[in-house]
Amino acid sequence: MTRTHFRFHWPATPRAAASARRTAELLPVSVDREGFDELRLLLSEAVLGLVDRSEDSAQSQLEVGVSVAEKDLRAEVTLDDGSARPPELSGWGMLVVDRLSSGWGLLREPRPGIWFELPFGFRSSGPSPVSRPQAA
């Protein structure tokens, strides 16, 4: 199975959540508006969950990795804050991740983080699925 991988890095500050939402627009995925909004929300919540646990956000870095295949997408959000502490994510954000993703879990090695999966994949290179009226 062919997968395409994307990696993005930002300082571990609350502004990284907005960057993650905007970055979702660069991903070559085929999904309706609701699915796209869910992807943006999940990226944002995963980033904020890790930023909230960072002790020194000025020195810490976030990495967002997204892997897209034909029928699925997997995102991993990790925090490089110099510690090997496992993530302690909780709150409404993790409830959102649990409800909207098709699967998720915590990462411990080599950096603490969270992963989640969604059931949509590559954007088709064929014709647009939106039907357009024919000119008369």
- Give the tens place of pLDDT for each residue, 75-103: 999 988 766 565 666 677 788 888 888 99
Nearest to 46 by CA among 131, 100, 108, 115: 115
Separation between Cα atoms, residue 8 and residue 63, nearest integer Å: 6
Q: Does the pLDDT value for residue 5 go beyond 70?
A: yes
**1-24 mean pLDDT:** 88
Confidence of residue 31 (pLDDT cuts 50, 70, 90): confident
Q: Which CATH class name applies to 4-118?
A: alpha beta
Share of the chain above pLDDT 90, in %: 28
The secondary element (H helix, E strand) that includes residue 82 is none
Domain ranges of the chain: 4-118
Mean pLDDT of the chain: 80
DSSP sequence for 27-70: S-B---HHHHHHHHHHHHHHHHHHHHH-S-TTT-EEEEEEEE-S
pLDDT at residue 54, rounded to an integer:
62
The Cα 77–Cα 101 span in angstroms is: 14
Take residue 51 and report the two structure tokens written for it. 């930023």
**Ramachandran quadrant class, 76 (left: phi over 0; alpha: psi -120 to 50; beta: rest):** beta
For tokens 């090695």, what's the residue? 109
CA distance 113 to 106: 6
- Mean pLDDT value across residues 24-43: 88
Q: What is the pLDDT of residue 56?
A: 60
Question: Computed from CA positions of residues 26, 28, 9, 85, in that sequence, does the dihedral angle turn out positive or negative?
Answer: positive
Q: What 3-state DSSP class applies to 95?
A: helix
71 confidence band (pLDDT: 50, 70, 90): confident
**What is the per-residue pLDDT for 84?**
57
- The secondary element (H helix, E strand) that includes residue 10 is strand 4-11
Residue 74: the pLDDT is 93
